[in-house]
Amino acid sequence: MNIMLVTTWMWLFLLILHVLEGGVFAVDSKQFNILYVIADDLRPTLGCYSDPVVKSPNIDQLASVSTVFHNAYAQQAVCGPSRVSFLTSRRPDTTKLYDFNSYWRVHAGNYTTLPQYFKSNGYTTLSVGKVFHPGIASNHSDDYPYSWSVPPYHPPSFKYEKRKVCKDKDGTLHSNLLCAVDVSEMPLGTLPDIENTAEAIRLLESMKDSHHPFFLAVGFYKPHIPFRIPREYLKLYPIESMTLAPDPDVPKKLPNVAYNPWTDIRKREDVQALNLSFPYGPIPKNFQLQIRQHYFASVSYVDAQVGSILQALDDFGLAKDTIVVFSSDHGWSLGEHGEWAKYSNFDVATRVPLIVYKPGVTSPFPRPGEKTFPFIDVFQGTREQFGKGRGVERVVELVDVFPTLSHLAGLSPLRHCPSSSFKIELCTEGSNLANLIRNPERELNREAYSFSQYPRPSDSIQENSDLPDLADIRIMGYSIRSTDYRYTLWVGFDPVRCQPNMTDIHAGEMYLLAEDPGEDNNVFDEFDHTHFMPRVCI
């Protein structure tokens, strides 16, 4: 009898201890659904990241009940390589994808993906829009049937995205960068992300009574160029209120190899009409303001789509049972350093939003009938005031999402990959951030790092500098981002063996962030770099 009493009291003590540490038994024992929302080319220009211009009330509302990672970074600032990296939790040197022209299961290793892991654990896995990068990079199938239970959905109207559908003042149609439109005049009378939203809501409704948990990934196409968005969103950002980037000039000490000449921007008809010189331009100031206006408007357009999907979680009774992750594949330069687009190692190209919501952990469970995510109409003119959620300042990476989400869902933890993992199907090169989500850091960890990289064909700036094919890569820029600095080495690279030569240094960058948060003053030549070298060899 005494033994039974002792056992009972020990069990109660462990239960109380678990609750005090931030957990609840019921939370971890149940199966949670997953909603993973991915924007395309979205830097953290959001209200919840203290951006003073952008109106993003629905994402801000999500952030208010979530953990918000303020220093999250992509592993390569271009769509295909980044998506394969965070969906496999492997770095580009392991996926061997630096362009769009290979399928990792054939070219590198048969790596298990994030949705595939959930599928193997009984989840119904569903893909809407741009999750994997289309084409060869995902075997022309978005990695179906490995990753998904049913064939992924792609909106029919996306085929018009690069066609001449942008109406000029004279009524003629063009393929422009700036492309605010009347949706009713568009082919099929809609836009891709509007179709993505409708399909995601339809899938949520179809799964609300399912006996199996679901993993739903929704990939929005915006704010990727062209800025083909509903015209009304421009009204949120009057052009007279727009400002240029705080550092619109190319830094004097920036190595040529580090600069991206934004060639995809130059291919648009309205940009071609500006007759810009290659590689630096610059773009006229009035057009720079319009680019920034259209980018911000695109973010608000995506925010509305996200808000509709989040409200559907409430409408179908799923908010209390669904983990939500919101992120993007990389950032986008808006004129900083005289650059546009991505294709670099700067913060503006590699830093991403990362927001994680788990009911009962990042916020209390919603009460019966209580709405967690009521839709907010940005055009109502009210600037909603939300809490900032649980902020985490520690440097983290997109390769961390896979092990973190698996842990939050209660799946078996992933082991960390050994130095050579090409033959290992399931492991992670990231870190599990679940403890930071349950118990936000009390002290900033200055020993945390993110690693990014970007390939170049040459030391000089070329037409293919932004996106060289693998066979043309001769230099790789390996970059470390800590709380205090960004350090980048541009070194020789063998595209056949996919290996760098760390002794063949072509150029370097060093930015001390406390005094230079915009990464404008390269002080590389002022430092002894010996102690940095081992950390760059990733």
**Interhelix angle for 192-207 vs 285-315, to 10°?**
20
Average pLDDT, integer, range 110-122: 98
Establish whether 79 is a catalytic residue: yes
The per-residue pLDDT for range 308-346, each reduced to its tens digit, is 999 999 999 999 999 999 999 999 999 999 999 999 999
- Quote the pLDDT of residue 29: 53
Alpha helix (H) residue ranges in 316-446: 347-350, 401-408, 434-438
CA distance 37 to 433: 18
Supply the pLDDT for residue 188: 97
pLDDT in tens, 383-430: 667 877 899 999 999 999 999 999 999 999 999 999 899 999 999 999
Q: Report which of 402, 536, 514, 360 is spatially closest to residue 87, judged by C-alpha positions.
A: 402
- For the segment 458-488, what is each residue's pLDDT rounded down to a tens digit? 999 999 999 999 999 999 999 999 999 999 9
Give the burial class of 136: count Cβ atoms within 10 A of its Cβ; 0-12 exposed, 13-18 middle, 19 or more buried: middle
The answer to whether 133 is a known catalytic residue is: yes
401-424 as b/e: b if 16+ CB within 10 A: bbbbbbbbbebeebeebeeebeeb
Full set of structural domains in the chain with CATH: 30-442 (3.40.720.10)
Spatial separation of the C-alpha atoms in residues 152 and 166, rounded to whole Å: 28
21-25, 83-87, 260-264, 383-387: least confident range: 21-25
- The per-residue pLDDT for range 351-382, each reduced to its tens digit, is 999 999 999 999 998 888 889 999 999 999 76
Q: Which residues contact 517 (CB under 8 A, 6 or more apart)?
A: none
pLDDT surpasses 90 at 1: no
Per-residue pLDDT, averaged over 126-141, amounts to 97
pLDDT tens sequence across 502-525: 999 999 999 999 999 999 999 999
DSSP letter at 112 equals: P
CA distances from 153 to 149, 198, 216 (A): 12, 11, 11
Catalytic one among 79, 166, 179, 417?
Answer: 79
Model's pTM, two decimal places? 0.93
Q: Residue 517: its pLDDT value, please?
A: 97
> Which entry of 133, 154, 294, 506 is annotated as an active-site residue?
133
For position 528, what pLDDT does the model report? 74
pLDDT at 298: 98
Residue 439 — pLDDT band, cuts 50, 70, 90?
Answer: confident
Model pLDDT for residues 259-273, shown as the tens digit of each residue: 999 999 999 999 999
Whether the predicted pLDDT of 125 surpasses 90: yes
Mapped onto helix, strand or coil, the DSSP state of residue 499 is strand
